[in-house]
Structure 1
Amino acid sequence: MNDTEQNQAATESRNNNSKTVKKLLLVVLAMFGFGFALVPLYDVFCDITGLNGKTNKTAVAYTATTIDKSRTVTVQFITRNAQGIPWIFEPVINEITVHPGEITLVSFYAKNKASYDMTAQAVPSVSPGLAANYFHKIECFCFTQQPLRAAEEVEMTLQFYVDVELPEDINTLTLSYTLYDITEKSS
């Protein structure tokens, strides 16, 4: 191989390397864009399908026209505190049996065990995820922030109904709340 052929081979190799680097940069940019778009796309998907147990974030009007007395559904209540929140947070009752279409009122107890004032926000989730579309909160403490002074305690209410259109194979719903400290965000 003479010098001219070697120079051509080196130039061709640099051109191929340059093309490869450009392609890889485009792939990296596309992956970053896809990753960035996943969160809003997932939220839309969950809203449409009812997956992930997301419930309504605002009060709904009671729209049931009948109460299905021939059927009962067990609604279980679970609470947990996010890491670092020194509150007692628990349902007054752990489960209740309701008829679809019937308005039900339950209470939750909270106490700020910290030596300082705090504000918390409860985030709900329903399982099975499909049932979230049929669990309607008329009034819920989770719609608003919950400020509590040091050592203060409160009973918070949830008013809800289970839609009569709930699929027949779902007999038990679990409503889970996670309590988050939002003191800094609420100031």
Structure 2
Amino acid sequence: MRLLDTLHRDNRQLLLKLVVVVALMLGFGYALVPLYKHICEALGINVLSLSERQGLTAKSDATGNGQIDYSRTITVEFDTNARGPWDFKPEVRHMTVHPGELKQVMYEFRNKQDRTMAAQAIPSYAPMQASAHFNKLECFCFNEYTLQPGETKQWPVVFVIDPKLPKDVKTVTLSYTFFEVAGKGGVRVGQASKGQAL
């Protein structure tokens, strides 16, 4: 009997431990998303701008208040990185803006390959504290685009820099990394069958 009681007790303890482990794993799984966001914000990696997090609220605030700080100018630099054999560049490399002023810059992308490709861009900002004050009202980032061989497309970025940007920040760099989305596109010219679309 003692052996049977000991086995029942051991099984209950093991079951309790397994339930605790499962509960901890579920809690950790749910905590991963906010934890990832906080780490990215702290390090300035692939963070969404304030307007992308708040959607239309930021758009109405940025365009509705009409508060342009003419006493300050900020140089905005536009940097592009293309991970692949294609051209990706802004129409201008930098511009001078007043905080609160609505501005637009065009970006051009050209697929130099002989195959259809799908790609997308991820923005980053420097200095890190500028990311919360760089409000993009229109942007091509985080959307996938399919380009045919030799096709060229242009996309606008409409933005406003919040006047609450710290006064010691004189230059803000908006950098885009444009990379191919794996497994989407990839049919070479002349290799597509009649049923395949390029």
TM-score, normalising length: structure 2: 0.67
Q: Which residue of 2 aligns with 1:89?
A: 88
Go from structure 1 to structure 2 and tell me whether the alpha carbon gap of 1:150 and 1:48 turns closer, same or farther (over 3 Å shift).
closer
CA distance in 2, matches of 1:51, 1:108: 23
CA distance in 2, matches of 1:184, 1:48: 29
Q: How many residues align?
A: 175
CA shift for structure 1 position 65: 2.7
Q: Which runs of 5+ in 1 are unaligned?
A: 1-28
Aligned AA for 1:156?
Answer: W
Contact 2:44 2:124 in 1 (8 A): no
- Of structures 1 and 2, the larger Rg is shown by 1
Q: Which residue of 1 aligns with 2:141?
A: 142
The alignment status of 1:68 with 2:61, answered yes or no, reads no
Sequence identity (%)? 32
CA shift for structure 1 position 128: 1.1
The alignment status of 1:184 with 2:177, answered yes or no, reads no
CA distance in 1, matches of 2:41, 2:173: 20
CA distance in 2, matches of 1:117, 1:111: 11
Q: Which residue of 2 aligns with 1:131?
A: 130
Aligned AA for 1:122?
Answer: A
Go from structure 1 to structure 2 and tell me whether the alpha carbon gap of 1:153 and 1:73 turns closer, same or farther (over 3 Å shift).
same
Go from structure 1 to structure 2 and tell me whether the alpha carbon gap of 1:174 and 1:155 turns closer, same or farther (over 3 Å shift).
same
Go from structure 1 to structure 2 and tell me whether the alpha carbon gap of 1:123 and 1:48 turns closer, same or farther (over 3 Å shift).
closer
Q: Which runs of 5+ in 2 are unaligned?
A: 1-21, 186-196
Aligned AA for 1:67?
Answer: I
